[in-house]
Amino acid sequence: MLNPSFWKNRRVFLTGHTGFKGSWLSLWLHALGADVTGYALEPPTQPSLFEQAKVADVVRSIFADVRDFPRFKAAVAECRPEVMIHMAAQSVVRRGYEDPVETYSSNVMGTVHVFEALRQLKHPCVVVNVTSDKCYANQEWLWGYRENEPMGGRDPYSNSKGCAELVTTAYRESFFSPALIKDHGVALASARAGNAIGGGDWTSDQLIPDLLRAFLGGKPCLIRNPASIRPWQFVLEPLRGYLVLAERLAEDPSRFASGWNFGPAEADAKPVSWVADELTRLWGNRASWSLDPAAHPREAHSLKLDTSKSRACLGWHPALPLSQALEWIVGWYRAFQSGADLRSITRTQIERYEECSRDCSLSVVPS
């Protein structure tokens, strides 16, 4: 269960704060009373949740590239963070095919720069490196991947995330050993999450943003892989996992400095077509989708995560069923359509989710 008192006045350095997940996490950390410094490029989409929810009003923002090591190192040294959450990344599978150099340089060397800045700073810090469920060598299994499965990836994006996990392990083994925490002060873990969905996501070539853009425009949506199965989860589910993991790392690095999966209940690993049908039904107004007949780069067909470790050791459990998450998403985009205050809408959903997660701690969602 999340401990709000841990975050009160805690100096947090968050990379990728201008992105979809980063904007949600920035608002949540601010609500928890954290002192947040964000480091990222300008918002990656137009529109963007960062601008729509006025995230810049509640965090200290540095607009720069994590690949610029001197600039990044100076920013970290100035902040002297107590918690680092690294989320800056090139996050789209199809873009990885279009620009593999950017993908590897951002996702691999960006990660190296984060760890190296902290190594040189020599300041105690809890670090959560956020990678992806796609970091695993995907065998198209029907069961979920566990944290000790081999890293891999057959496309540049997935492979870059596997590489980022290997970098994490190398730095932990070489420089940030939990057994020597008194010497270096850095407690390092990685977090691997499924498909995070929620209001304010405007990323191109992603199912739910593509669907909602089409619905808002009164047009049908073309979908590439309707039979593909993904571990869908409301955006605050993995974010709560990252926060709980950071808290536990601060308490006991020797136990928690490792890799962790955050995914939905087994029943919520659904085909793309199921999600598209449900959103179409919820939106109404003659919304529709159809199969995109064009040729597309290869993507994994089936991908699930085994979250047994997070459930047993962190006390983390998914709190919001997918069907309810989709209702909240439609509600967010309806609010956007009507010109409502989107920071207020987003914060209200954070508060509602906190209630759900507290209830979850008393009545665990079955897997």
What tokens were used for 283? Answer: 């939106």
pLDDT of residue 357: 93
Cα 71 from Cα 94, distance rounded (Å): 29
pLDDT of residue 362: 59
pLDDT beneath 50, residues of the chain: 365-367
Cα R_g (the chain), whole angstroms: 19
Cα 213 from Cα 219, distance rounded (Å): 8
Domain ranges of the chain: 7-198+233-266+298-321
| Cβ atoms of residues 60 and 37 within 8 Å | yes
Among 208, 221, 152, 180, residue whose Cα is nearest residue 328: 208
Q: Which amino acid is at 43?
A: P
- If you write DSSP's letter for every residue of 254-318 in order, what string do you get? HHH-SEEEE---GGGEEEHHHHHHHHHHHH-TT--EEE--S------SB--B--HHIIIII----
The CATH class that applies to domain 7-198+233-266+298-321 reads alpha beta
CB atoms within 10 A of CB 343: 17
Among 298, 196, 304, 286, residue whose Cα is nearest residue 241: 196
Neighbouring residues of 217: CB distance < 8 A, sequence distance ≥ 6: none
Q: Cα 254 to the chain's mean position, in Å?
A: 24
| Cβ atoms of residues 3 and 247 within 8 Å | yes
Cα 196 from Cα 2, distance rounded (Å): 19
pLDDT of residue 366: 44
Cα 325 from Cα 356, distance rounded (Å): 11
Predicted TM-score of the model (pTM): 0.95
